[in-house]
Amino acid sequence: GMTETLINSLAQVPNLAVKARTSVFRYKNQNTSLKIVGKELGVQAVLTGRMVQHGDDLTLFLSLVDATTENQLWGKQYDQKLTDLVRLQTQIAEDVSENLKAKLTTADQQKLSRRYTASPEAYRLYLQGRYLWNKRTERDMSKSLEYFQQAVALDPNYALAYTGIADAYVNLSMGFNFGPMQPSLGLPKAKEAALKALEIDNTLAEAHVSLAVIKERWDWDFATAEREYKRAIELKPNDADAHHWFSNDSLAALGQFDEAIAEGKRSVELDPLSIVINADLGETFFYARRFDESVAQLRKTLEIDPTSFYAHYNLGIALQAKGDLSGAITEYEKAKQLSDNPAVATFWAQAKAHAGDKDAARRMLSELDQISQHREVVGYLRALLYLSLNNKDEAL
């Protein structure tokens, strides 16, 4: 939780580039040398911490280390009560900025001292929600929504928690990749939560990102979405999620591929070990019909995490586009072993049909009929299967 808060605070300082949580958390509980961490993340300094709790008493040890020499640049011990956790986070962000020799304007200092909630329990619930949301599985996404809702029940003015609700509803409504919810049910609720967050705090970058995604996917209002993304990036230049969604959703959908790839690469720079961000850059290369670069990027993603179903099945799509049908089937099969997502099974079945096994596509069409009884099945999946059977009328 402390790590997440410090990243969010320091990322708002214009002349500091701070790596995002998904990349940083990969080093948790690993005895990796700070030189290696610095090299892999491309950073000049690493902040490490250790917390000890005795009842309501907290002791926090922090150390700022030069990533090249491993010399300590600064260190401090904080002794606080658990009830002072929110104030402690602000103090640490200010101390770290000062010792990084960051030249802070008055506006920067105000950003660092900003408190999103005065409730330690609401904050804890929000962090648990974000942890689960970042896992990007259907089960975890549903549980994250519960945590975000509990957080706003404790603090109805907790704008960040409303963005969590919006983001959870968005992903639960993405029947193609993650969720079972009908978009007509989930996306209006997402929009309501995002607008509530902005009503509470219209300078919250995360809320502008949430609204931008909804403007694209529900209102089909790409002009407003672009304005919202740009406002988010203006407020928080080093927000990996803002660059990521702007790239993969908005710019790619509009065919502005050079800009989309540039934004995608920027999001990878900010969060170099994020599976979703790396895989989606590969997907953006695919949309641009730059298939070799798509394959290379997705293979690089799988070097980070070979167990990512999302990377395997996107790699299958790119290989199929290149004409490597057997390679695509192999990747789809790996993805199937890692996920029960209907999209994964559909891509495998249509590839098998293209390879001559038409029954695989027919069986999958029957399965989708059964699956649609209890969850959203997007029409695109059936269309792919009909195409693999050369049934163009049904596909249309």
Q: Decide: helix, strand or coil at residue 16.
A: coil
Higher local confidence (pLDDT), 33 or 156: 156
Do residues 23 and 272 lie in contact, with contact meaning Cβ atoms separated by under 8 Å? Answer: yes
What is the Cα–Cα distance from 155 to 126, expressed in whole angstroms? 11
Q: Quick one: pLDDT at residue 123? A: 86
Question: Is the pLDDT confidence value at 175 over 80?
Answer: no
- CB-CB neighbours of 106 under 10 Å: 7
The string of pLDDT tens digits covering residues 30-87 is 888 899 999 989 899 999 888 898 888 889 999 999 999 999 999 999 998 877 777 7
Q: What is the mean pLDDT of the chain?
A: 90
> Tell me, what DSSP letter sits at residue 116?
S
What is the Cα–Cα distance from 281 to 283, expressed in whole angstroms? 5
Do residues 25 and 19 lie in contact, with contact meaning Cβ atoms separated by under 8 Å? Answer: no
The pLDDT-based confidence of 174 (bands split at 50, 70, 90) is confident
Q: Quick one: pLDDT at residue 20? A: 85
Higher local confidence (pLDDT), 139 or 189: 189
pLDDT (mean) for 300-307: 95
The pLDDT-based confidence of 383 (bands split at 50, 70, 90) is very high
Tokens of 238: 């080093």
What is the Cα–Cα distance from 218 to 381, expressed in whole angstroms? 20
Q: What are the start-end ranges of the E strands in the chain?
A: 45-54, 57-66, 72-81
The string of pLDDT tens digits covering residues 334-370 is 999 998 889 999 999 999 999 999 999 999 999 999 9
Please tell me the pTM assigned to this model: 0.83
Range in 69-83, 143-157, 244-258, 308-322 with the lowest mean pLDDT: 69-83
pLDDT (mean) for 8-27: 81
The string of pLDDT tens digits covering residues 95-149 is 887 787 766 667 766 666 677 888 888 988 998 898 888 777 788 889 999 999 9
- Closest by Cα among 66, 25, 21 to 47: 66
What is the Cα–Cα distance from 237 to 217, expressed in whole angstroms? 24
Tokens of 339: 């996920």
Cα torsion angle, 4, 7, 11, 17, sign? negative
- Buried b / exposed e across 306-328, counting CB within 10 Å, b at 16+? eebbbbbbbbbbbbbeeebbebb
Q: Quick one: pLDDT at residue 178? A: 55
Q: What are the start-end ranges of the E strands in 158-265?
A: none
